[in-house]
Amino acid sequence: MLSDTSPASRGWIVTAAGLGINLALGVLYTWSLFKAAIEKEFGWKGAQLNDPYALCCLVFAFTMILAGRCQDRLGPRVTASLGGLLVGLGLLLVSTTTNYGAWLLGFGVLVGLGIGFGYASATPPALKWFPPAKTGLIAGLVVAGFGLAPVYLAPLADYLLRHYGILKSMLIFGGAFAVIVCSLAQLLVNPTAGQVAVIKAQTAKSSIAAPVVDFTPGQILAQPGFWLLWIIYFIGAGAGLMVISSVSGMAKKTMGDQAFIAVAVMALGNAGGRIVAGLLSDKIGRRWTLMLVLLLQAALMFLAIPVTASTDGAKFIIVLLATFIGFNYGANLALFPSFAKDLWGLKNFGMNYGVLFTAWGVGGFALSRLQAWLFAASKDTAGHGNYASSFITAGLLLLVGGALTLLIRTRKAAKS
């Protein structure tokens, strides 16, 4: 019986369920493939092609506040189940129409809401089953599912789009994700009082103690340190999403119809970055890990300028670059929930991280829109554009973010 398993064993079950839910919700990262099919089948142009994705990012992020409160109050099972139903409903809606407004509502709003509720309920219960010394690892493992999703979704989406078109593909995804997320949601449970006592006993033996104060969202909003983290998160996430939303288009120059491979390989880097950064931050600290990630990402953005401009068949370099950009972007998604737990406690973790996570949504919305505008502005008389200005902008922002990490003041909690 699951109820009879030890806290550690049950914790790994909850972690696996959270990872599985995020594997389904990671459909967001395959937008660059959907975008190409939409342009071909619907005839949309310009910013229209990025708008459902950008709106989905924004809705997802701000839903995390409400979803975090729901998770803290009603528990992860109810919250994740609601997320699965909303994602399914949104994809079902867009599977019936080519209308721009309906896609904004279906993919941008309903799918965004569903991802927010599902994502908000996956990490908190997993973290509650483990001592602070494993915070980075567990957070990294759970959110790795979201980044890893395109590894199977990219080739699957490519197959479905070629054989069934965009509308039927959305119908298939909607039904499958609703069933998968709602089923896995039933495995998400918080530890009982007795199990918490066992976990606290393990914490007492650890060199990393839990925070002695649990902050409310109102309290963290009054802290300058919160806004510093918010700005850095905005930069780190937004710069990565600028690339992820268009990586398929970037790769088409040298990879043609095999561009989906770059999307899938970037996902491996995305997922790996979450796990590796989580582990590394448990060893050397969150701040130093974050600084390293941002500075490496800045270097990659500048390197990407000549690589993506080449048409000489540098497939290996494109894929390698995509992998490392995905790796550094993914690291953010493990580090910032770990910051939230370390600094503000677990009692209100769902809502606290939801408030911080708005930086991800605003960054994704603002910088993906900026990327679309910069690309359009770079087009020559023949209609050919380039990504140089986008990479320069992202690189400079990342350098600023890396410098700002020096101002982060981590709080060392007293031992229990």
295 in a structural domain? yes
Range of 175's domain? 7-407
For residue 413, pLDDT over 50 is answered with: no
pLDDT at 135 > cutoff 50: yes
Could you give phi then psi for residue 313, rounded to 5 degrees?
A: 80, 30
**415 domain residue, yes or no:** no
Most confident listed range (40-54, 306-320, 375-389): 40-54
Q: Which residues contact 138 (CB under 8 A, 6 or more apart)?
A: 11, 15, 126, 127, 129, 130, 278
Provide the pLDDT for residue 416.
Answer: 28
pLDDT of residue 295: 96
CA neighbours within 13 Å on the CB side: how many for 60?
28
Residue type, 147: G
Is residue 112 included in any domain, yes or no? yes
pLDDT, average across residues 120-127: 90
97 neighbors 235 (Cβ within 8 angstroms): no
State if pTM tops 0.85.
no
Q: Residue 358 — pLDDT band, cuts 50, 70, 90? A: very high
Three-state SS annotation for 376-401: HHCCCCCCCCCCHHHHHHHHHHHHHH
**Domain membership flag for residue 385:** yes
| 3-state secondary structure (DSSP) of residue 18 | helix
Give 3-state DSSP helix, strand, coil % of the chain, rounded to 5.
85, 0, 15
| More confident position, 202 or 144 | 144
In a domain, 50, yes or no: yes
Report the C-alpha gap between 44 and 341 in whole angstroms.
Answer: 43
Q: DSSP letter at 98?
A: -
pLDDT in tens, 197-207: 566 666 555 54
Band of pLDDT at residue 20, cut at 50, 70 and 90: very high
Smallest CA-to-CA distance from 56 within 115, 112, 106, 135 is with: 112
Number of domains in the chain: 1
The answer to whether 310 and 334 are in contact (CB under 8 A) is no
Phi, psi of 206 (to 5 degrees): -90, 155
Residue 98: exposed, middle, or buried by beta-carbon count in 10 A (0-12, 13-18, 19+)?
Answer: middle
Q: Quick one: CA dihedral 35, 39, 41, 42, positive or negative?
A: positive
Tell which residue, 316, 322, 149, 332, has the closest CA to residue 232: 332
Q: What is the DSSP letter of 90?
A: H
Q: Is residue 305 part of a domain?
A: yes
pLDDT digits (tens, 9 = 90+) for 158-167: 899 999 999 9
What's 38's DSSP letter? Answer: H
The DSSP string of 268-316 is: HHHHHHHHHHHHHHHHH-HHHHHHHHHHHHHHHHHHHHHHHH--S--HH
Residue 416 located in a structural domain: no
| Cβ pair 11, 130 in contact under 8 A | yes
Q: Report how far residue 104's alpha carbon sits from residue 1's, in angstroms, rounded to the nearest whole number.
A: 44
Q: What is the CATH number of the domain that holds 266?
A: 1.20.1250.20
Q: Which of 170, 174, 175 is nearest to 160 (CA)?
A: 170
pLDDT digits (tens, 9 = 90+) for 214-263: 899 999 999 999 999 999 999 999 888 777 666 655 666 666 666 667 76
Residue 332: inside a domain, yes or no? yes
Three-state DSSP string of 117-145: HHHHHHHHHHHHCCCHHHHHHHHHHHHHH
What would the mean pLDDT of 299-325 be, rounded to a whole number? 76
251, 318 Cβ separation under 8 angstroms? yes
